[in-house]
Amino acid sequence: MQIDYPFHVSGSKTTATTTEEDHVRDLIEQVLFTAPGERVNRPEFGCNLMQIVFSPNSAELGAATQFLVQGALLQWLGSLIQLQQVSMASEDSTLHITIEYVLKQSQESRTVEFSRPI
């Protein structure tokens, strides 16, 4: 069992825990939405995803953003997941990100989706 993210207390007044699969999903979310420099002891952690979404939209920016996300996920979670596909779309003022990956430990395929207002 792993500590759940975001940190909270369970109904039994202990630190909430989660499964290994959900923990990896939480880690992916942390990599995507943490800006480099935000963590004191790991200033390189994260990717600049939320900064890039304010740039003018173009096909080149979309490709660069996809490579940025893939690189960050492989750098920080490459020992836990085998990345299959990263896709992004913006709809109105919301960014939608879909990550397809395989858990290296169990060889299970997973797909997670995140949505954030921009």
**Number of domains forming the structure of the chain:** 1
Specify the CATH number for the domain of residue 74: 3.10.450.40
pLDDT in tens, 69-98: 999 999 999 999 999 999 988 777 778 889
94 Cβ contact partners less than 8 Å away, ≥ 6 residues apart: 115, 116, 117, 118
Nearest to 96 by CA among 77, 111, 79, 81: 111
Long-range contacts (CB closer than 8 Å, 24 or more residues apart) made by 36-39: none
Structural domain harbouring 68: 2-117
How do 109-117 and 17-18 pair as beta strands?
unpaired
CB 27 within 8 A of CB 77: yes
Structure tokens at 82: 């085998």
pTM score above 0.75: yes
> Which ranges in the chain belong to alpha helices (H)?
20-33, 49-52, 59-77
Q: Is the pLDDT of residue 56 over 80?
A: no
Q: Higher model confidence: residue 87 or residue 7?
A: 87
